[in-house]
Amino acid sequence: MPFITYLSGLLTAQMLSDDQLISGVEIRCEEKGRCPSTCHLCRRPGKEQLSPTPVLLEINRVVPLYTLIQDNGTKEAFKSALMSSYWCSGKGDVIDDWCRCDLSAFDASGLPNCSPLPQPVLRLSPTVEPSSTVVSLEWVDVQPAIGTKVSDYILQHKKVDEYTDTDLYTGEFLSFADDLLSGLGTSCVAAGRSHGEIPEVSIYSVIFKCLEPDGLYKFTLYAVDTRGRHSELSTVTLRTACPLVDDNKAEEIADKIYNLYNGYTSGKEQQMAYNTLMEVSASMLFRVQHHYNSHYEKFGDFVWRSEDELGPRKAHLILRRLERVSSHCSSLLRSAYIQSRVETVPYLFCRSEEVRPAGMVWYSILKDTKITCEEKMVSMARNTYGESKGRYYLTLSKVSPF
């Protein structure tokens, strides 16, 4: 039915008169141009002039559709159908704040699935910039107002590199409720819960404080409801920032190695140079090589001089450690100047006030758990890189959400 015909029918039936106003509806018409000639629905039989195009002028207030129905029986049936469609996928009835599923709405495991379990979205916390050892993640609680109840969130994290079989190495699984909020987990991981712009919406966070620098990590999150169902996975892959480097010390070591290599090198000096280069980290060794070649390459580069002074075997033991430095950090460690800094950042540390009974995890609702939170501080070590003194730039960790 063309909309103009519908309006004409309402006017004819006097449903829009002052005596019988429809609750929540106000219709006003005015000329706003003409329908295109290609629209056959706009032509009124017996009249050559095209009908005006209806335009929504304003919305006075928003009300549920079922309140517009006058008959109580029809209104309740319409309300029940709308609630079922929105909260229970049209396969169950809304009872208080949960869904009673129809007999046909059960999955292969025999669990009711008319109320969907949304997928949580894992992301980096915008308030905590990742460092070489610290990463903070967060997600918004996916429990709807009506329907499924979230019992727990399971977070998996593992380091991924070329030496690890990702199919065999599963990493570590942490239960947000049983491991983190209960305090049974490691001190290197802390859980938090806060509220977003809407007070009813909870934001959960987890901060990892003991990660390895320049490491590729994969974090995976899924929700568990009170019936034991698992949501779809949410994944974030992240490489931590490059290790902290003391650039002044690296330059001092480069000068020391040059002096040990210069002229006749005795067995004692060879051993001292070897011990010095093996004691520093791989990133520091890369920076030592950079300073050595910057100042003394005209006397032979670092690799050639090390092989000549220490012998191929010892030089190989030293130089193969440079392979541990990623290409990302290698390019940064070639910067003209590096400045290290350590700053402290606040984070939330929350603990549960109640003990969840063993074997009854699925019957507890995470949102109803009483917790106590306090603000703590964590030290964040970072490098800043620059091409000239006094001009530095920051580098962020690489993140790949899937």
Q: Which of 144, 117, 147 is nearest to 229 (CA)?
A: 117
Mean pLDDT, rounded, for 185-211: 85
**pLDDT band for position 19 (50/70/90)?**
low
Q: Quick one: pLDDT at residue 61?
A: 72
Q: What percent of the chain has pLDDT over 90?
A: 25
Tokens at 261, concatenated: 């290599």
Per 3-state DSSP, the chain is made up of helix, strand and coil in percentages (nearest 5) of 30, 25, 45
Q: Quick one: pLDDT at residue 233?
A: 95
Instruction: List the beta bridge partners of residue 350.
Output: 373
**Is the predicted pLDDT of residue 204 greater than 90, yes or no?**
yes
Q: Which residue has the higher pLDDT, 48 or 297?
A: 297
Q: Quick one: pLDDT at residue 208?
A: 92
Q: Quick one: pLDDT at residue 278?
A: 93
Half-sphere exposure of 75 (CA within 13 A, CB side): 8
Mean pLDDT, rounded, for 17-27: 54
Residue type, 322: L
pLDDT per position as a tens digit, 312-362: 999 999 999 998 898 888 989 989 889 888 888 888 888 888 765 655 544
Q: Which residue has the higher pLDDT, 26 or 347?
A: 347
Q: Quick one: pLDDT at residue 402?
A: 42
Q: What percent of the chain has pLDDT over 70?
A: 76
Q: Quick one: pLDDT at residue 298?
A: 81
Q: Quick one: pLDDT at residue 317?
A: 93
Q: Which residue has the higher pLDDT, 364 or 85?
A: 85
Q: Quick one: pLDDT at residue 275?
A: 93
Most confident range, picked from 39-43, 73-77, 107-111, 305-309: 305-309
Q: Which of 237, 325, 234, 342 is nearest to 286 (CA)?
A: 325
Residue type, 172: E
**Is the predicted pLDDT of residue 390 greater than 60, yes or no?**
no
Cα separation, 122 vs 218, whole angstroms: 11
Q: Quick one: pLDDT at residue 223?
A: 94
Q: Quick one: pLDDT at residue 220?
A: 95
* Helical spans, DSSP H, in 202-361: 247-261, 267-279, 282-296, 302-310, 312-319, 327-332
Q: Quick one: pLDDT at residue 367?
A: 87
Determine whether 138 is exposed, middle or buried from the number of CB atoms within 10 Å of its CB (0-12, 13-18, 19+): buried
**Is the predicted pLDDT of residue 94 greater than 70, yes or no?**
yes
Q: Is the pTM of this model over 0.75?
A: no
Q: Which residue has the higher pLDDT, 276 or 63?
A: 276
**Is the predicted pLDDT of residue 393 greater than 60, yes or no?**
no
Mean pLDDT, rounded, for 142-163: 87
Mean pLDDT, rounded, for 5-24: 58
Q: Quick one: pLDDT at residue 33?
A: 56
**Is the predicted pLDDT of residue 222 greater than 90, yes or no?**
yes
